[in-house]
Amino acid sequence: MNIDIDTLTNEWDELSREYSELEDCNRTYIELLEQLHSHQQKCFNEIKHQRYRMNQICASLRQFKNVQSPDEKEKIANLEKNTIKRKAQLHEIEQSLPAKSGRYLRIILGDVNVSILNRNDKVRYKDEYEKFKLILNVIGLLMAFLNLLFNYRVLELSYIFLLVWYYCTLTIRESILKVNGSRIKGWWRAHHFISTVAAGVLLVWPQGEHWQLFRKQFMYFNAYISVVQYLQFGYQKGLLYRLKALGERHNMDITIEGFHSWMWRGLSFLLPFLFVGYAFQAYNAWTLYHLSYEPVDAPWHVSVMCGLFWVLFIGNLTTTLLVVPEKIREKTKERYRLISMGKSMKLRKMMKQNSISENDIDIAAENSVVTNVTSSLEDDGEKKCN
């Protein structure tokens, strides 16, 4: 190696020039972050303002309950429709803004921001959550069958431990989904908390006569639930696929139509399997109730599991029975929600494509592309805010 010191000094000078470019780039980035923060605050304030004025208009509208003239009736109906539409639009704008984590997430993860600020990424995260459930359910199904074939304590405990971990992970993922605007009902989240507790109780249930009498039924129940979860995956995956299509198709009406007709077909296929599952839960509770008396000296786990299965049965049945009427009642709201969501997904995709084509035109001018994209995002934020 015969490099002289002057060459090294020249190389260092060149590196220093590149470093000052890096510093400039970083400065621009920090400035953009500052601007981003101030635009976020502006959006929050404007959303608050929109909601405040909308509430005032809604309150005043109530005075027009007994109007007779068709012209006035039409104007009232229009205002009501616009209110529903605006609520959906505001909700969609909120999806691009950071949201605070709930208490549960703060306890588990600490005060960290888990907001996903892009609707397309939110859909991707949900997709991943569904895939996670699917994989774990396939493993669960295999383990349930293995436990039916072999009565080994280690195998049994591994399966129950997997259930504890699985449900615990679901509660965390669902809390993240909730922060990111998912409308998942409180009961389904509570259901997974209760399931974690139930799996924990099973883990410490001593291997005795009572457990041996319940064991086989429990494994069959889990195998059935895994199959139902597979069907649920098919349903949710179908909805997600159609949701993604909303961000791609030009004629949104057709896609919303397709979304709804698929949803109703999917639901009518899935519901009978769900109700059989709930009947199985009630049957488990009933069996455990009898086991708490006969044979004598039942451990406390029997009664606790009996109570938990009753709670799951009642909660699941009530919530699922309420889903269909709620979907019929909130048809208009749902339609506007999908329209706003589709528009937002398309907008983000267009911006991404813009940034890619600019990149193709002038790869070297990376900084200017960043600035262009950010300014178009800012413009969009301004439009939404104004």
Look at residues 226, 227, 229, 234 and name the one whose alpha carbon lies nearest to residue 140: 226
Please, what is the minimum distance in Å from the beta carbon of residue 149 to ligand COA? Answer: 24
Please, what is the minimum distance in Å from the beta carbon of residue 240 to ligand COA? Answer: 8
Please, what is the minimum distance in Å from the beta carbon of residue 152 to ligand COA? Answer: 27
Please state, in angstroms and as integers, the Cα–Cα distance from residue 2 to each residue in 9, 12, 99, following that order.
Answer: 14, 17, 59
Residue whose CB is less far from ligand COA, 122 or 210: 122
CA angle 136, 142, 144 (to 5 degrees): 100
Sign of CA dihedral 89, 90, 93, 94: negative
8 A C-beta contact, residue 193 and residue 168: no
Residue whose CB is less far from ligand COA, 95 or 147: 95
Q: Which residues contact 306 (CB under 8 A, 6 or more apart)?
A: 285, 288, 289, 291, 292
Peptide bond into 295 cis (omega under 30): yes
Please, what is the minimum distance in Å from the beta carbon of residue 236 to ligand COA? Answer: 5
Please, what is the minimum distance in Å from the beta carbon of residue 225 to ligand COA? Answer: 5
Please, what is the minimum distance in Å from the beta carbon of residue 235 to ligand COA? Answer: 6
Please, what is the minimum distance in Å from the beta carbon of residue 326 to ligand COA? Answer: 7
**Interface with ligand COA by CB under 6 A: which residues?**
126, 177, 182-185, 188, 225, 228, 232, 235-236, 267, 270, 274, 277, 316, 320, 323
Residue whose CB is less far from ligand COA, 92 or 369: 92
Residue whose CB is less far from ligand COA, 205 or 278: 278
Residue whose CB is less far from ligand COA, 60 or 261: 261
Q: DSSP 3-state assignment of 262?
A: helix
Residue whose CB is less far from ligand COA, 184 or 350: 184
Nearest-CB residue for ligand COA? 277
DSSP designation for 65: T
Residue whose CB is less far from ligand COA, 25 or 197: 197
HSE, CB side, 13 Å, CA atoms: give it for residue 247. Answer: 21
Please, what is the minimum distance in Å from the beta carbon of residue 375 to ligand COA? Answer: 31
Please, what is the minimum distance in Å from the beta carbon of residue 129 to ligand COA? Answer: 8
Look at residues 100, 87, 101, 95 and name the one whose alpha carbon lies nearest to residue 121: 95
Cα radius of gyration rounded to whole Å, the chain: 28
Q: What six digits make up the tokens of 120?
A: 């397309």
Burial tier of 36 (Cβ tally within 10 Å: 0-12, 13-18, 19+)? middle
Please, what is the minimum distance in Å from the beta carbon of residue 37 to ligand COA? Answer: 27
Residue whose CB is less far from ligand COA, 142 or 184: 184
Residue whose CB is less far from ligand COA, 28 or 187: 187
CA angle 51, 54, 60 (to 5 degrees): 145
How many beta carbons lie within 10 A of that of residue 232, not counting itself? 19
| Cα distance between residue 354 and residue 362, in whole Å | 12
| Cα distance between residue 305 and residue 298, in whole Å | 12
Look at residues 218, 203, 209, 202 and name the one whose alpha carbon lies nearest to residue 298: 209
8 A C-beta contact, residue 223 and residue 145: yes
Residue whose CB is less far from ligand COA, 235 or 289: 235
Q: What six digits make up the tokens of 130?
A: 């569904």
Burial tier of 304 (Cβ tally within 10 Å: 0-12, 13-18, 19+)? middle
